[in-house]
Structure 1
Amino acid sequence: MFSNFFEIIILSAIQGITEFLPISSSAHLILVNKISNLQIGSLYLDTGMHLGSLLAIIFFFRNDLIKILDDKKLLYLIILGSFPTIILGAILYTSGFIYYFRSLDLIAWTTLIFAILLYISDKFKVNKKIQNDLNLKSILIIGFFQMLALVPGVSRSGIVITAARFLNFDRYDSTKISFFLSIPALSGASFLSLKDLYSETFELNLIILFSIIFSFIFSYLAIKYFLIFVKHFSLVIFVIYRIILSLGLFYLIYF
């Protein structure tokens, strides 16, 4: 199915890096699919990449997750904040309606619009922390915002950070909220892929294995260095990147 495992490395890098940065992994994968010959639609590759990203986030935050399991309030809040996206996502994927969102035109607009919202939110004052200020009201607001990420170009991490920043959480904790909420989201995406997946061939098993490994590596590095970045810098570089990307998409569409 894949004659060149270099393709797996490229696609795993795109998935692993863009999954956790506020620039939309789905938009980049769809864009690459439109302008290249890389085989992005493989169920086996999708499953491996999502599992790799999921394992990376769990491994990176293993100590935090142990504490969350002991802190029942925070655990319940993360679960509640994930429900809206998981339920709507399951409906859209099983019905096939999700594929109506995959046009470059829509991606260009969402990339631009949510770049502007990210910029505005990042200017908000900061005085809230996860441990003391994350409550039912704030997590439900963030959770409903996260549903928008089912549309390619919005960016799941981007919209969660945007919502949290509008609610006055600081940049670092907004990013951590985004990462914590990614665990149920990635688990749901992996489950939807796994339920239709069965393979006994050596080649397909290698595809899954390599995509998990490479996606894990790139995801782990993205998580580590993005957290370092947000401690010291604003998100304006990602805003600029999204605006440039959207303009490039508009050029591809209309010229």
Structure 2
Amino acid sequence: MARDVQARLAYLQWQPSYTHTRPYRIGVFAGRRKRNIDRDKTTNLVFHVADHPETIRDIRGLSEAPAFDLDTNGFVYKRCLAPTLTKSYEYSDPQKVNDIFLPECEAILKEHVNGAGEVMIFDWKIRKKKSAKEKRTRNPNLQGFARQVHIDTLLTRDEIGTPLMERIRNHLPEESQHLLSGRVQLIILWRPISGPIEDHPIAVCDGRTLDASKLIESDMIRGNYTGTMLYPQYH
């Protein structure tokens, strides 16, 4: 059965310093991380847990999923077959991911996204609680769980402010002319490895309810590149 919950979410809180210093977070260091590094220097982001709880609706278990739509709401929910790779350690092998998991994801998008004639995946990540060994390996495709409200569609290896069409040219140079002759969409597909998910479920909001004027743009530095993240501002 579906079970709604009340939760107090963490939002980025505006700081006076943001007027002269761009918000930033250093997620992964290039080279060896120094001991006794000043943690305060890795970010100037300040988050605030909301004073009042919000209702998070559990879509699982509903007899009929609401008619969400990518173009209208910004997300859609679909029931799909479980992936062939069901053990988290199997995703430590990029070859298996590329040969087995990603083709399954492409098939899902072709089936459920209206008019999707071609699907090309240029980036993928696995999110899980990292073991001590996994933290030491610093696998760029393995990340922990996000704990703040955010919009991460702009986090790429491209320069800050790069428009979508230019990103396609950067990541898919051979196919870009053909792709850009028609309609293109950048879609993030979240797919559980195994279920049911008992902790750290993903939560999304209807894009129509978001006040774009309250978004704060920040630099996300990972290794040798800088991407961009958007955070709804706490108010």
Shorter-chain TM-score above 0.5 = no
* CA radius of gyration, larger in: 2
The structure carrying a bigger strand percent of its residues is 2
Q: Could you tell me the TM-score, scaled by structure 1's length?
A: 0.27
- Structure with greater helix share of residues: 1
Question: TM-score, normalised to structure 2's length?
Answer: 0.28
